[in-house]
Amino acid sequence: MRTVEIDGLPVGDGHPTRVMSVLNMSSNSGYKPSVYLDPAEAAEAIEENLVPAGADIIDVGLQSANPKYESKPVEMEKDRLEEVAPLVDELDADVPLSLETRYAEVAEEAIGHGFDVINDVCGFADPEMKGVVEDHDMPVVKMASPPDLASPGALKTIDDIFEALQRDGFTDKTIIDPAFGGWYDGKEFEDNWEMFRRLREFRAFDRPMLTATNREDFLGDLADQPETENQLAVSLAAATMEAERGAHIIRTHDTRETHDVVKVADALGDERTTRPETDSGPTVAELTDVTLREVARHQALGETVAGGTDDGATLTFLLGDVTDDARASLRAVAEVTDVVVVEKDGGSLYVGGSAAALKVVTDSLAEDGHRELAGELRTSLSRRV
């Protein structure tokens, strides 16, 4: 995993999950408590509220990326940047500042004003953006988007998102953002749910990942909470799962609550690596709950030098109500396929092995006449494909 440092703050495996607090300096925002139009008031909010609440990074927005608001031209953002730039000098708190934009010209001016990371909501749609951040050795968040400056994040399927992130490549200091959201034309709640379930697949990019699902309607819908002000609980539930599934930065309007959530997730969740990449020596990062689709993503973004997709995911299941004949058949085939079988006191069976080996097991069970058990196991395997 590539570690990216933001003004000395390391982001990546082996480091705490970082909290990025939203500070909208535009009146166009779907969540008014995060809006601060005056630089002095914004600096006060950062120092007295956001940093004490646990903010690791502050993300400053000059216009909303939500397509329900008309996209503003580069000239407006440049003028607004000049108005809010005093924030950098007025701020006493030692916290990195991110500037959300889609324009390379605005990014370059923001770097000159002292911002520490560029949050590109159009994913290098501006052909000059990549060169600007590379020339300044600047960390950049690349949000998955079509090559259209007026349509940030307007993608529907997970394959579209992978393709968009790969388009035009990355800098050495790129952080990826899969672009969640329920308000894009053609993108339904179901598309966001599917992407969330498959969030681990984005680990194949081997780069730090930012997620921004806070107070999104696709989460509120699951709990029958359509109003933004009632979506704190669903946002925190999602943040816990995002940290577990590979997010390194959680972007949020609710700093204190999200800070507490990621502290628990980091302390009690799966350990990703033996040591931070910034330390010398080899590292080993365990990837948990790997699906065949995730293996295929790693293969697509690299070169497979040994083995196949089915060999790359070890899957485990508990089988219940298995007949004695089926148990005997399972034991026999497991002995020659490197599948682990453990008989539990309650009568269930713990079964684990590679997808390739488990497919051999299901075929053997079917041939021995245990078609119902083979069918159930195939169904479970297919869910992991």
Statement: residue 366 has pLDDT above 90:
yes
Mean pLDDT of 297-321: 87
Which of the two residues, 46 and 271, has the higher pLDDT score? Answer: 46
User: Tens digit of pLDDT for each residue in 255-304?
Assistant: 999 999 999 999 998 766 766 666 767 777 778 888 888 888 988 998 88
pLDDT at residue 248 in the model:
97
pLDDT at residue 346 in the model:
80
Percent with pLDDT over 90 in the chain = 66
Mean pLDDT of 75-89: 91
Mean pLDDT of 377-381: 89
Mean pLDDT of 88-106: 94
User: Tens digit of pLDDT for each residue in 160-198?
Assistant: 999 999 999 999 999 999 999 855 566 789 999 999 999
pLDDT at residue 184 in the model:
56
Statement: residue 47 has pLDDT above 70:
yes
Residues whose CB is less than 8 angstroms from the CB of residue 313 and which lie 6 or more positions away in sequence, other chains included: 290, 291, 292, 294, 295, 354, 355, 384
Tokens, residue 207 = 């780069």
Is the full-model pTM beyond 0.85?
yes
Rg value, the chain, Cα = 23
**How far is Cα 174 from Cα 384, in angstroms, rounded to an integer?**
29
Bridge partner list, 101: 120
- SS3 of the chain: CCCEEECCEEECCCCCCEEEEEEECCCCCCCHHHECCCHHHHHHHHHHHHHHHCCCEEEEECCCCCCCCCCCCHHHHHHHHHHHCHHHHHCCCCCCEEEEECCHHHHHHHHHHCCCEEEECCCCCCCCHHHHHHHCCCCEEEECCCCCCCCCCCCCCHHHHHHHHHCCCCCCCEEEECCCCCCCCCCCHHHHHHHHHCHHHHHHHCCCEEECCCCCHHHHHHHCCCCHHHCHHHHHHHHHHHHHHCCCEEEECCHHHHHHHHHHHHHHCCCCECCCCCCCCCCCECCCCCCHHHHHHHHHCCCCCCCCHHHCCEEEEEECCCCHHHHHHHHHHHCCCCCEEEECCCCCEEEEEEHHHHHHHHHHHHHCCCHHHHHHHHHHHHHCC
124, amino acid identity: F
Mean pLDDT of 303-323: 87
**How far is Cα 285 from Cα 15, in angstroms, rounded to an integer?**
12
pLDDT at residue 29 in the model:
64
| Chain centre to alpha carbon of residue 370 | 41
Mean pLDDT of 37-43: 84
Mean pLDDT of 97-109: 97
Q: What are phi and psi of 24, to 5 degrees?
A: -85, 120
Which of the two residues, 277 and 81, has the higher pLDDT score? Answer: 81
Check for a shared fold between 4-268 and 292-383. Answer: no
Spell out the domain ranges in the chain. Answer: 4-268, 292-383
33-42, 216-225, 269-278, range with greatest mean pLDDT = 216-225
Residues whose CB is less than 8 angstroms from the CB of residue 269 and which lie 6 or more positions away in sequence, other chains included: 243, 244
Mean pLDDT of 203-208: 93
70-74, 124-128, 267-271, range with greatest mean pLDDT = 124-128
pLDDT at residue 332 in the model:
94
pLDDT at residue 310 in the model:
85
User: Domain spanning 292-383 has what CATH number?
Assistant: 3.30.70
Domain 4-268, CATH 3.20.20.20 — does that match? yes
pLDDT band per the 50, 70, 90 thresholds, residue 308 = confident
pLDDT at residue 124 in the model:
97
Percent with pLDDT over 70 in the chain = 93
